[in-house]
Copies of this chain bind each other. A is one copy, B any other.
Amino acid sequence: MNIYDVSEKAGVSIATVSRVLNGNSRVSEKTRNKVLKVMNELGYTPNIFARGLGLNTMKTIGIMCTDSSDMYIANAIFYLQRELRNNGYDSMLCCTGNNLSSKQQSLDLLISKRVDGIIIVGSKFLSSNPESDDNRYITAAAENLPIFLVNGHLSGRNIYSVICNDYYAVYSVTSKMIQSGRRDIVYLYTSTSHSGLNKLMGYKDALCANDLEVRPNYMHLCTKNIIRAKEYLSHLHDSGASFDAVITSDDSLAVGAVKFALANHISIPDELSIAGYNNSILAICTEPEITSVDTKLEELCTTAVDKLMKVFAGNDTVAGQTVIPADIVTRDTTSF
């Protein structure tokens, strides 16, 4: 079933069929209808390979991430996919894990599939070491197709980032904690990515701005895991360190903090204030519900796709980086 079958049955040439297929106006109404009727009768579908061979585009965007089962990333994929579809593009998903060589392989694979562009989701995808060459393969790929980063930053030609203002978000939360009377504030974080380090810096700077001491054991790098967060706080508590607030870089850690407080009969928020990050469903699972930072993921995603479409349209004034401010959603684990 191909264009020849249609042309034969309709009594026209393949060129005419092709014109009908592509909405070319240089076809008489009568001929067009005749061809459309035949296409319908035959249930004809154009062959995407043959088309791609000529046009060298598949109207498909590759989406890469380390782990699509992560709630934040899963939501991003949903939004991206929806926006791309609205713009006539499909998406091809690659979950790479955290191994550098498998990230490279996935990128090569998407390129070999001739995707028209690539969207990378999550700051953990990139190596945060600016000295290393670990992101070189991405800048190299950007020579041939545009690359977009959602919640990640990398500079370079044909690379576009859309990020949330993580530094300012954590700075604000920390400041609010201090303003509401907290002085011994623990910060639990999950990642040393660009975004992760920005958040940490926000915490430190807010302490400094208020003349509070930055204590190493009050900043803890922790796997993204409820139990681990609870364990570390228990450990800190048992070791005699006192703290009246916990700020986290992810809601799961904040859930751990709530569980720690409940297990030790520490009242929330009077004796211990807790703030989460990402404003996920986890923030409303606990009792009390958790104050959390809304990172505007949907807006990040729609902005990324918008920029992508502009780049495809040949607009060469698309900003390399877009920063979107976060919101703080106040609930019952804080007294501000």
Q: Using a CB–CB distance below 8 Å, which chain A residues touch chain B?
A: 45-53, 56, 58, 60, 63, 67-69, 71, 74-75, 77-78, 81-82, 85, 90-95, 108-109, 111-114, 226, 252, 255, 258-259, 262-263, 281-282, 284-287
Contacts and interface: CB of A to CB of B under 8 A. Distances in A.
A45 B252 CA distance: 42
A86 B295 CA distance: 34
Contacts of A77: 68-69, 74, 77, 93
27 contacts: A45-B111, A46-B112, A47-B114, A48-B52, A49-B51, A49-B52, A49-B114, A50-B53, A63-B93, A67-B78, A68-B74, A68-B77, A69-B74, A69-B77, A71-B71, A78-B95, A81-B93, A82-B95, A90-B94, A90-B109, A90-B113, A91-B93, A93-B93, A252-B281, A255-B285, A259-B287, A281-B282
Contacts of A90: 92, 94, 109, 113
A160 to B, nearest CB: 22
Contacts of A52: 48-49, 52
A48 B114 contact: yes
Nearest to A62: B90
Contacts of A263: 287
Which label, helix, strand, loop or mixed, suits the secondary structure of the A interface? Answer: helix
Given A71-B71, A74-B68, A81-B93, A49 B49 contact: yes
Contact of A68 (B78, B262, B285): B78
A68 B84 CA distance: 14
Contacts of A109: 90
Contacts of A75: 69
A85 B284 CA distance: 35
A85 B67 CA distance: 14
A298 to B, nearest CB: 10
The 3 closest A-B pairs by CB, nearest first: A74-B74, A49-B52, A285-B285
Contacts of A50: 49, 53
